[in-house]
Amino acid sequence: MTATEAALCRVTEAALSTTDHLDAVGRAGAGAAVLFAGVVRDHDHGRSVVELEYVAHPTAEDVLRSCLAEVAADPLVHAVAVSHRVGILHIGDAALVAAVSAAHRGEAFAACERLVDLVKLRLPVWKRQVFTDGTDEWVNCP
Protein backbone atom coordinates (compact mmCIF):
# COMPACT_ATOMS: atom_id res chain seq x y z
CA MET A 1 0.00 0.00 0.00
CA THR A 2 1.21 3.48 -0.78
CA ALA A 3 0.00 6.79 0.56
CA THR A 4 -1.53 7.56 -2.84
CA GLU A 5 -3.92 4.64 -2.36
CA ALA A 6 -5.38 6.28 0.72
CA ALA A 7 -8.91 7.32 -0.10
CA LEU A 8 -9.22 9.76 2.78
CA CYS A 9 -6.62 12.06 4.31
CA ARG A 10 -7.52 15.65 5.12
CA VAL A 11 -7.47 18.59 7.48
CA THR A 12 -10.90 20.17 7.22
CA GLU A 13 -13.51 22.39 8.84
CA ALA A 14 -16.22 19.91 7.85
CA ALA A 15 -17.63 17.40 10.31
CA LEU A 16 -15.78 14.07 10.24
CA SER A 17 -17.62 10.86 9.41
CA THR A 18 -16.51 7.63 11.04
CA THR A 19 -18.48 5.70 8.41
CA ASP A 20 -16.56 7.40 5.58
CA HIS A 21 -13.25 6.44 7.20
CA LEU A 22 -14.24 2.80 7.70
CA ASP A 23 -15.55 2.62 4.13
CA ALA A 24 -12.26 4.07 2.87
CA VAL A 25 -10.20 1.23 4.38
CA GLY A 26 -12.45 -1.63 3.32
CA ARG A 27 -10.55 -4.25 1.35
CA ALA A 28 -11.51 -7.81 0.38
CA GLY A 29 -8.43 -9.27 2.10
CA ALA A 30 -8.86 -7.27 5.31
CA GLY A 31 -10.28 -9.33 8.15
CA ALA A 32 -10.07 -6.38 10.54
CA ALA A 33 -10.79 -2.68 10.36
CA VAL A 34 -10.03 -0.57 13.41
CA LEU A 35 -11.51 2.89 13.91
CA PHE A 36 -10.40 5.59 16.34
CA ALA A 37 -12.48 8.70 16.94
CA GLY A 38 -11.06 11.39 19.20
CA VAL A 39 -14.07 13.39 20.37
CA VAL A 40 -14.46 16.63 22.28
CA ARG A 41 -15.17 15.90 25.94
CA ASP A 42 -16.84 18.21 28.44
CA HIS A 43 -13.91 18.43 30.88
CA ASP A 44 -10.14 18.71 31.12
CA HIS A 45 -8.11 18.45 34.33
CA GLY A 46 -11.17 19.02 36.51
CA ARG A 47 -12.47 22.02 34.57
CA SER A 48 -15.69 22.06 32.55
CA VAL A 49 -15.16 22.63 28.81
CA VAL A 50 -17.84 24.10 26.52
CA GLU A 51 -15.99 24.06 23.19
CA LEU A 52 -12.63 23.71 21.49
CA GLU A 53 -11.03 25.55 18.64
CA TYR A 54 -8.37 23.88 16.50
CA VAL A 55 -6.03 25.97 14.36
CA ALA A 56 -3.74 24.34 11.78
CA HIS A 57 -0.44 25.43 10.29
CA PRO A 58 -0.55 25.60 6.46
CA THR A 59 1.62 22.45 6.29
CA ALA A 60 -0.76 20.39 8.43
CA GLU A 61 -2.27 18.35 5.61
CA ASP A 62 1.19 17.50 4.24
CA VAL A 63 2.27 16.37 7.70
CA LEU A 64 -0.90 14.31 8.05
CA ARG A 65 -0.17 12.63 4.71
CA SER A 66 3.36 11.78 5.84
CA CYS A 67 2.00 10.18 9.02
CA LEU A 68 -0.43 8.17 6.90
CA ALA A 69 2.34 7.16 4.47
CA GLU A 70 4.55 5.94 7.30
CA VAL A 71 1.84 3.62 8.61
CA ALA A 72 0.72 2.63 5.12
CA ALA A 73 4.27 1.49 4.32
CA ASP A 74 3.85 -1.43 6.74
CA PRO A 75 3.34 -4.52 4.56
CA LEU A 76 0.79 -5.87 7.06
CA VAL A 77 -1.46 -2.81 6.58
CA HIS A 78 -4.07 -2.98 3.83
CA ALA A 79 -5.42 0.59 3.93
CA VAL A 80 -5.30 3.76 6.02
CA ALA A 81 -7.57 6.80 6.37
CA VAL A 82 -7.11 9.78 8.68
CA SER A 83 -8.60 13.26 9.09
CA HIS A 84 -8.32 16.09 11.60
CA ARG A 85 -10.92 18.76 12.02
CA VAL A 86 -10.15 22.46 12.54
CA GLY A 87 -12.32 25.38 13.59
CA ILE A 88 -14.82 25.51 16.45
CA LEU A 89 -15.88 22.10 17.77
CA HIS A 90 -18.54 21.32 20.35
CA ILE A 91 -18.89 18.57 22.93
CA GLY A 92 -19.21 15.23 21.15
CA ASP A 93 -17.75 16.40 17.83
CA ALA A 94 -14.98 14.25 16.34
CA ALA A 95 -11.66 16.09 16.15
CA LEU A 96 -9.53 13.20 14.85
CA VAL A 97 -10.71 10.11 12.99
CA ALA A 98 -8.36 7.32 11.93
CA ALA A 99 -9.09 3.93 10.41
CA VAL A 100 -6.75 1.10 9.46
CA SER A 101 -7.42 -2.29 7.91
CA ALA A 102 -5.26 -5.40 7.95
CA ALA A 103 -5.68 -9.13 7.64
CA HIS A 104 -5.89 -9.60 11.42
CA ARG A 105 -7.11 -7.52 14.39
CA GLY A 106 -3.77 -7.31 16.20
CA GLU A 107 -2.09 -5.78 13.17
CA ALA A 108 -4.96 -3.38 12.61
CA PHE A 109 -5.07 -2.26 16.27
CA ALA A 110 -1.30 -1.75 16.41
CA ALA A 111 -1.22 0.21 13.16
CA CYS A 112 -4.15 2.42 14.16
CA GLU A 113 -2.56 3.18 17.52
CA ARG A 114 0.72 4.02 15.78
CA LEU A 115 -1.11 6.32 13.35
CA VAL A 116 -2.90 8.20 16.13
CA ASP A 117 0.33 8.53 18.12
CA LEU A 118 2.19 9.89 15.06
CA VAL A 119 -0.56 12.41 14.34
CA LYS A 120 -0.66 13.59 17.96
CA LEU A 121 3.14 13.93 17.99
CA ARG A 122 3.72 15.59 14.61
CA LEU A 123 0.61 17.39 13.39
CA PRO A 124 0.97 21.19 13.65
CA VAL A 125 -2.55 21.77 14.99
CA TRP A 126 -3.14 23.75 18.16
CA LYS A 127 -6.10 23.57 20.49
CA ARG A 128 -7.85 26.34 22.42
CA GLN A 129 -10.13 25.16 25.19
CA VAL A 130 -13.03 27.36 26.30
CA PHE A 131 -14.27 26.75 29.84
CA THR A 132 -17.70 27.31 31.38
CA ASP A 133 -16.39 30.28 33.38
CA GLY A 134 -15.53 32.11 30.13
CA THR A 135 -11.77 31.64 30.38
CA ASP A 136 -9.74 29.80 27.78
CA GLU A 137 -6.31 28.27 27.33
CA TRP A 138 -4.15 27.11 24.44
CA VAL A 139 -2.88 23.54 24.68
CA ASN A 140 0.23 22.05 23.05
CA CYS A 141 1.31 25.34 21.52
CA PRO A 142 4.98 25.98 20.79
Q: How high is the pLDDT of residue 112?
A: 98
Instruction: Decide: helix, strand or coil at residue 134.
Output: coil
Mean pLDDT across 54-69: 97
Whether the predicted pLDDT of 76 surpasses 60: yes
Q: What domains lie within the chain, and their CATH numbers? A: 3-134 (3.90.1170.40)
Question: Within 10 Å of residue 3's Cβ, how many Cβ atoms?
Answer: 16
pLDDT in tens, 6-36: 569 999 999 999 999 999 999 999 999 999 9
Segment (H or E) for 125: strand 125-131
Mean pLDDT across 97-110: 98
- Per cent of the chain over pLDDT 70 is 94
| DSSP string for residues in 48-86 | EEEEEEEEE-TTHHHHHHHHHHHHHTSTTEEEEEEEEE-
Q: How high is the pLDDT of residue 7?
A: 67
Q: How high is the pLDDT of residue 4?
A: 35
Q: What's the CA gap between 124 and 140, in Å, rounded?
A: 9
Whether the predicted pLDDT of 3 surpasses 90: no
